[in-house]
Structures are given as structure tokens and as C-alpha cells.
Amino acid sequence: MNMVAATHPRVRVEIVFDFVCPWCAIGIDRLVSTLSRRNDVHIEWQWRSFLLNPTFPPEGMSLESYLRIKQGDDTRIARLLHLIEKQAREFDTAIHFDRICKVPATLNAHRLLTWASARGDATSLVLGLFEAFFRRGEDIGDPVVLAHTAERHGFDPQLVLQLLAGQTLSGTVLSEQSLHQRNGINGVPSIIIAGMALTGVHDSPVIDRLLDVALQATYRNGIPQFSSTLRRGADHS
């Protein structure tokens, strides 16, 4: 008697995000946690670059200056930081703004991710870079910091330093940024599952429902568009 092992459907999950977006850190942590518990599908992660601050200087900007430009007065800044840290706790993660001195330019981080993704699943690297920035306050625009983080997630730090010493993959990242904008993506995180899009931070039941709808649509050989009201996300301006 021949036994054929059951195979799970493969589902591509694309995430458009930036490393300095706190809503991305919260939402992606919950997304990965939720989908990692799904034993009925095989998830293929695809990480898509989006630069919230495409005109940033390479050295970045102090967090204080950045927040004043974006939010203005101290009251609004304090309210925003409290809201983000509170929602992070509600989603069983952590963000520590008191440990962050500056907001880095993220082109180098996205170049690293593009390079790493070509070599395998880079999901742990994404989560590691969020942890480095939002929980330890490290400068993830610094090639040395990026190399050390990459090493902790299985990549050769010397190859990373060689990559970041030049401009390799800069054009790829910037072209991807332009493509997202032409496709109408102006808020992150944006999650696309089998052609259906969801923007913002969402809890596990919403993520599970999106995946289930995507699976049903795939089996029907027709993939409709799925949208949801933005809960929390970062807008590009």
C-alpha cells in the first residue's frame, strides 16, 4: 500500500515595512507569531522595503529633532510615545523609546535585508533588527551594528560589511520604494497575502481570517481584493 504524505498549501506573505516604524515592529511581531502557529499552511515570507524617510542623511537624525518635526509640541510627543509603548505591551512585545537616541536612515538595513533574502528566509533577521533598534536602542544605520546583528542570525558579518561598504542594492531598494508608491501603498505595515492587502496593526483573529479568506479564494481559482480599515500604521509623507 502506497502512502502519500499530505502536503500543505504554500502561501506567499508579503510585508511592506520600514525598520524605524514602531507600528511595523508591533504588527510584524504579532503577524509572525500568529502565522507560525498555523500548521495547515507553509508560509513563504517576502520582505518588501519602504523608506519612511527617504531623504534622511546617512547619519540619521536625533529622536528629539525627528519627533519635533513630526509632532510639534511636547504634549503631543509624550502622548504618542505613551500610546505606542502601551499598544506594544498589549500585543506582548516591547518598545523602549528611552533607549533610542536617534532615528537612523534605513537604506543600509534594507540593502542588508534584500541581500539576506536572496540567501534564504530572513524573517529572524527582520525581528532581530527590530529588537536591536526598538528594545536596545542600537543604531541600525551603522554597518558595524548591522553586521553584528546579521551574524547573530546566521549571516557572515564580513560579507555584510563588504556589501555595505559600497552602494550595492541601493537601486533595488529605491526602485521597490517607487513601485509601492505607484501601487498606492502609502502606509506601513502593509501585509499582502495571496493578493489581498491589510494595512496596520491587527490582532491574531484578523490575521487568521485574512489567511483563511486567501486560502478559500485560492481554491476557487479567483483571488479577490481584500481590504481592512487601518487600525494603526505609519504614513509616508
Domain count for the chain = 1
pLDDT for position 183: 86
In a domain, 102, yes or no: yes
In a domain, 5, yes or no: no
Angle between helices 170-182 and 107-117 (to 10 degrees): 100
State the CATH number of the domain containing residue 194: 3.40.30.10
In a domain, 154, yes or no: yes
Q: Using an 8 Å Cβ cutoff, are 160 and 147 in contact?
A: yes
| Rounded Cα–Cα distance for residues 230 and 216 (Å) | 23
- pTM score, whole prediction: 0.89
In a domain, 43, yes or no: yes
In a domain, 3, yes or no: no
pLDDT for position 235: 62
Q: Strand locations in the chain, DSSP E?
A: 10-17, 42-49, 61-62, 102-103, 187-188, 190-193, 196-199, 234-235
Q: What is the pLDDT along the chain (237 residues), one digit of tens a residue?
A: 444 445 778 899 999 999 999 999 999 999 999 999 999 999 999 999 999 999 999 999 999 999 999 998 899 999 999 999 999 999 999 999 999 999 999 999 999 999 999 999 999 999 999 999 999 999 999 999 999 999 999 999 999 999 999 999 999 999 999 998 888 888 899 999 888 888 999 999 999 999 999 888 766 654 443 333 334 566 653
pLDDT for position 228: 39
pLDDT for position 181: 85
pLDDT for position 56: 93
Which residue segment(s) compose the domain that 35 sits in? 10-235
In a domain, 67, yes or no: yes
Q: Using an 8 Å Cβ cutoff, are 134 and 98 in contact?
A: no
Residue 40 dihedral angles phi and psi, to the nearest 5°: -95, 0
| Rounded Cα–Cα distance for residues 232 and 202 (Å) | 8
Sequence-distant (6+) residues with CB within 8 A of 24 are 17, 18, 130, 188, 189, 234
In a domain, 4, yes or no: no
Element (H, E) at 157: helix 157-165
Angle between helices 157-165 and 143-152 (to 10 degrees): 150
R_g (Cα) of the chain, nearest Å: 18
